[in-house]
Amino acid sequence: MFPIGTNLKLIKTPWATYAIIGTNVFIHLDVTWNSNFAIPSEIARTLGFVPASFGDLSKSHTLATCMFLHGDLIHLSGNMLFLMVFGRLIESEFGASNFLAFYMSAGVTGCLAHAIAESESTKPLIGASGAISGVLGAFLIANPRARITLMLDPTLIYFFHRITVRLPAWLFLPAWFLLQLVFALNPHASSVAFWAHVGGFAIGILFAVAIYRYIPTGK
């Protein structure tokens, strides 16, 4: 299931979210133009975050650069879709500068969670999933009663006889998180860095709880 919208209205124009999306798209097209839009391995190794190299200060910049690299167009599109749906609303509530600081912090936290779980891995971590997972965690706290419109995959369309469903955030987002945790606990399930999702989501919740009184809730 893929989120395609919510029932909430924007308070302010989310320029920071649009800038992040634009930057990710531009970088991906720029570095993959001559490689069938799949990231070249040398760029992933140079600018991706490698857990086994954590602690090497000369590579500390990869904690940030890895957030703006994606493996292919599917990876990029999926992440940007989630960011478009949830990031705009969180930025509208947090403010642009707070959102940018939060987004980057969640991304770094996701990298660190992955590094702790996969400390010996030499495979570079790339993608904005950790940061976007933080946005999802914050959204759960800020807007638990929001209704999220989800596009069903073909199998679910067959059973539900519809293309979309609407679920409350308090149901969809915890279910999404539990799914990430299940995959993270099964190291052979996928090559996806699920611990980055778990770490990002957790810091998103903690951050939102810390500033809960300043978030306009009840929408």
Helix axes 73-82, 129-142, angle to 10 degrees: 20
Name the pLDDT band for 215 (thresholds 50, 70, 90).
low
Model pLDDT for residues 88-142, shown as the tens digit of each residue = 999 999 999 999 999 999 999 999 999 999 999 999 999 999 999 999 999 999 9
Query: Among 123, 117, 87, which residue's Cα sits nearest to residue 198?
Result: 117
Share of the chain above pLDDT 90, in %: 83
Q: Specify the CATH number of the domain 2-214.
A: 1.20.1540.10
pTM attached to this predicted model: 0.92
Average pLDDT, the chain: 92
Beta sheet of 147-151, edge-to-edge order = 2-6, 147-151, 164-168
Model pLDDT for residues 136-175, shown as the tens digit of each residue = 999 999 999 999 999 988 777 777 678 999 999 999 999 9
Do residues 90 and 99 lie in contact, with contact meaning Cβ atoms separated by under 8 Å? yes
Domain residue ranges in the chain: 2-214
- pLDDT for residue 143: 94
